[in-house]
Amino acid sequence: MKKIYLAGRLFNAGERLHILYLEKHLKPFGYEIILPQREALRFFDGEKLNLKALSHDCRSICARDDVLYIGCIDGPDADSGTSIEYGIAITSQGKAIVYRTDFRTAPEKELGVNGMFNLEHTEFVYEPCYFTQLDQVDPYYANLAKIIHEAIIHLRTI
């Protein structure tokens, strides 16, 4: 699959910037990236967002068999929209990738990760983020993109 849908929290500058950095570092692997934050612009008339049309569009994209779902499940609990999109993708396609950068996670204890994200053919990527300087940002995202790319390759063999 060369098309990927990058899902996650998208409600503030930091969350949007995170997705943009990941997109920047996944593109060199040859992927076409679908970003919900860009898709949503089609449903904004300058004053309000048509949530019904946006929700239908997100559902349609996550169900497509030519698009691989990749969702960020950072935080004390995964974003509800991201969780729903994951459910649609795993039900429709039978495979998905979820990842965490949150260093509060202990993968062996499932701390902060809902057990439903462990469904069969779900690749879980954990790459905790500890950067504190701007010059560490691009190398971090380059490595995260590489790990996600490897997870994509593994899913292709399933």
pTM of the predicted protein model: 0.90
Q: By residue range, what is the domain housing residue 90?
A: 3-156
Which is nearest to 29 in space by CA: 132, 123, 134, 156? 156
| Cα radius of gyration (the chain) | 15
Which residue in 154, 150, 155 sits closest to 26, CA to CA?
150
Task: Indicate if the pLDDT at residue 112 is higher than 70.
Answer: no
Question: What total of structural domains would you count in the chain?
Answer: 1
CATH classification of the domain holding 114:
3.40.50.450
Sheet architecture: strand order including 67-72: 32-34, 3-7, 67-72, 96-100, 122-126
| Closest C-alpha to 19, from 129, 107, 141 | 141
pLDDT-based confidence at 75, cuts 50/70/90?
A: confident
Cα–Cα distance between 89 and 83 in angstroms, integer? 10
Identity of the amino acid at 134: L
Cβ neighbours, 10 Å, residue 129 = 16
Residues 6+ apart with CB under 8 A from 152: 1, 4, 68, 97, 123
Is 119 within 8 Å of 93 (Cβ atoms)? no
User: How does residue 110 score in pLDDT terms, banded at 50, 70 and 90?
Assistant: low
Does residue 115 register a pLDDT over 80?
no
In the chain, the percentage of residues whose pLDDT exceeds 70 is 96
> Closest Cα to residue 67, out of 39, 43, 46?
39
Give bridge partners of residue 33 from the DSSP assignment.
4
* Residue bearing tokens 């996670």: 105
